Amino acid sequence: MKLYNTLTRDQQEFVPQDGKTVRMYVCGPTVYDHLHIGNVRPVIVFDTLRKYFQRFQGWDVIYVQNVTDVDDKLINRSIETGEPVSEIAARYTQSYFNLLTELGVETPSHSPRATQFIPGMIDLIKGLIDKGLAYEADGDIYYRVSGFSEYGKLSGRKLDDLRVGARIAASEKKENPLDFTLWKKSKPGEPKWDSPWGEGRPGWHTECVVLSRHYLGATLDIHAGGNDLIFPHHENEIAQAEGLTGKTFARFWLHSGMLMFHGQKMSKSLGNFAYAHDVIEEFGTETVRYFYLSRHYRKPLDYSTEGLEAARVAITRIQTLIDEVTSELGASELATGTGSDTNEQGRGFLASLQPLRERYMAEMDSDMNTVGAIAAIQDIVSETNRFRASATGDARLALQGAISLIRELGYPLGLFQKTESTSKGIEDDLIRLLIDLRNELREKKEFALSDSIRDRLAKLGITLKDTAQGTIWT
């Protein structure tokens, strides 16, 4: 499949370096607060990519996502509230894991905390000093940008340009204003660790280099995150990792676009944000995922409740098909059914869906075009509804196969995976009983009473629909 690589600024054929296991690192959150809904975009987008790799490409994936539990934001919050950094971090780390579950995200293979890898970071810094790529100044350690000739290759920047437009506060300790902090001398009361340079804490994302190398080796297949991390964050990671090892740090750099709010990037500092858990509570996981995946992952996406409502409506059409077929054919068969018991007409219908499955894959293979992939699913839904409107007898068993296909294609997207039936044993039987009674009344044209049954069931959340195949309920 092809993926757009920020490093080369074009789409390239992607295959894992060993041909079967994708080594993938996605930048995780700093746990000083709950995630806002914009933070969630890369989480969903790259979870989808991972699942597509696993389910449709046949590759294993080692998926690593860090948790940054020591940095300025945490320390500032600690100073504001008086609560220890470790307690704040623990609370929001839990919040983050809860969010992953709510979003239907597959658990990362590893979720290392930065503070678990301080010795490794110290080793990294030592190595950089030995290579002449870092220097000490009054207890701080800085990376010497001028020592890495390829600095700027990811973000397309040149050192000279950066120098001219630099808004970076000049520090008298730095040789060059662009040099960035690898190790920071701790002030009283701040979290600190012993090091050869005195007590301090890690600086500019030495953690990502150390953590990724620990779990994935020197060369990652994919390093991913939001596109606001391209510079300086990811540029600085390359400088550290490649400066030290001389090996390619990541073969593919993938970046998701920003979530916008009324034309501006959603961010905590602007205050134009909504907490992810609140949005999920209001709209549900599938709607949120559909909302994101109905726009190409690299483009900016406007957040709006109207957009989320539209996503909800779009999903409803597909979910209605699934629910109605489930009700007609029975939930138990549907969970595992492939429609193999159908007749020739039904088999012909299922065969006619295969080109759409191929189209779905072609779209996903093209830089994960989930928008086109969803269009393919919508076409399957249309075809299935058309078939459903005319087919009779055993041909209808093929509907099971169509639903299975929709579920299969929905898997990477995190859509249509609910398997639990709306029915529950005796409850199902009682509803069937009411339906039978109501249909007897309808035959006698006692519509006032039959409509009353339908209305009263509706108030209980049970919808009755009279079809050519009989009454179904959802």
Partner RNA sequence: GGCGGCGUAGCCAAGUGGAAAGGCAAGGGACUGCAAAUCCCUGAUUCACCGGUUCGAAUCCGGUCGCCGCCUCCA
Q: How many residues sit in the footprint of RNA (CB under 7 A)?
A: 88
Dist CA 110 CA 25 (whole Å): 10
Q: How far is the CB of 65 from RNA (least distance, A)?
A: 10
Closer Cβ to RNA, 126 or 153, answer by number: 153
Q: How far is the CB of 471 from RNA (least distance, A)?
A: 8
Closer Cβ to RNA, 156 or 189, answer by number: 156
Among 167, 172, 188, 460, binds RNA (CB under 7 A): 167
Q: How far is the CB of 463 from RNA (least distance, A)?
A: 6
For residue 79, give the H/E element and its range.
helix 72-81
x/- mask, RNA, residues 436-465, rule CB under 7 A, reads ------x----x--xx--x--------xxx
What are the angstrom distances between the C-alpha of 341 and each of 272, 383, 394?
A: 54, 20, 8
Among 102, 175, 228, 333, binds RNA (CB under 7 A): 228
Per CB under 7 A, does 233 bind RNA? yes
Instruction: Map the footprint of RNA across residues 70-109, applying CB under 7 A.
Output: 71-73
> What sign does the CA torsion over 461, 467, 471, 474 have?
negative
Identify the three-state secondary structure at position 342: coil
DSSP one-letter string for 200-234: EEE-TTHHHHHHHHHHH-SSEEEEEEEGGGIIIII
Query: Cβ of 54: how many Cβ atoms within 10 Å?
Result: 17
Residue 347, token pair as written in the block: 């088999």
> What is the CA 119 to chain-centroid distance, rounded?
31
Among 239, 374, 395, 398, binds RNA (CB under 7 A): 374
Per CB under 7 A, does 320 bind RNA? yes
- The secondary structure of residue 275, as a DSSP letter, is B
Q: How far is the CB of 251 from RNA (least distance, A)?
A: 19
Per CB under 7 A, does 389 bind RNA? yes
Per CB under 7 A, does 401 bind RNA? no
For residue 384, give the H/E element and its range.
helix 370-390
Residue 253 backbone phi and psi in degrees, to 5: -110, 115
Among 247, 386, 444, 456, binds RNA (CB under 7 A): 386
Closer Cβ to RNA, 125 or 259, answer by number: 259
Query: Closest Cα partner for 296 from 380, 409, 405, 374?
Result: 374
Closer Cβ to RNA, 60 or 434, answer by number: 434
Per CB under 7 A, does 229 bind RNA? yes
Q: How far is the CB of 198 from RNA (least distance, A)?
A: 22
